[in-house]
Amino acid sequence: MAVVNQIEKKMRMNNWDAVKYQLLTYCYLYKISVSDADLDCLTFLALEGEQELTSFCSKVHEKKIFSSPQSVRNCLTKAAKKNLIVKEGKNKKKITINPKLDVFSKGNLLLNFKILSLAS
């Protein structure tokens, strides 16, 4: 029988960090490259919920995550190509985090990841 070293870490984090951690973990596990600014933008979207694209770009710019609303739009276009967000509608597009990511942002959260690595 193989011996397994089990590491258990417990910590408390605010809602922003818990959501960001979920997104970061998803991107890491599925080898999706994202910058820290991209991650902050996606975290903000997850916390805000479904948003109208143009107003969301302005909000993110106001929070100084990106230098312009166009930079936010470029980030969201890349995120849509990577299936991290979903865009819907024609004129006033609505954006939201892709439900397939299973990112939770409301209420109390307990993240419980169990990852096993077996030596050869």
How many structural domains compose the chain?
1
**Per-residue model confidence as pLDDT tens for the chain (120 residues):** 678 889 999 999 999 999 999 999 999 999 999 999 999 999 999 999 999 999 999 999 999 999 999 999 999 999 999 999 999 998 889 999 999 999 999 999 999 988 888 887
Residue type, 59: K
Contacts 24+ apart (CB under 8 A), 111-115: 111/18, 111/21, 111/22, 113/25
pLDDT value for 46: 97
Instruction: Evaluate whether residue 118 is within a structural domain.
Output: no
45 touches 97 (CB < 8 A): yes
Residue 2 placed within a domain: no
Q: Is residue 97 part of a domain?
A: yes
Q: What is the CATH number of the domain that holds 97?
A: 1.10.10.10
The answer to the question of residue 63 being in a domain is: yes
Residue-number span of the structural domain to which 41 is assigned: 35-101
- Is 52 domain-assigned? yes
Residue 113 lies in a domain: no
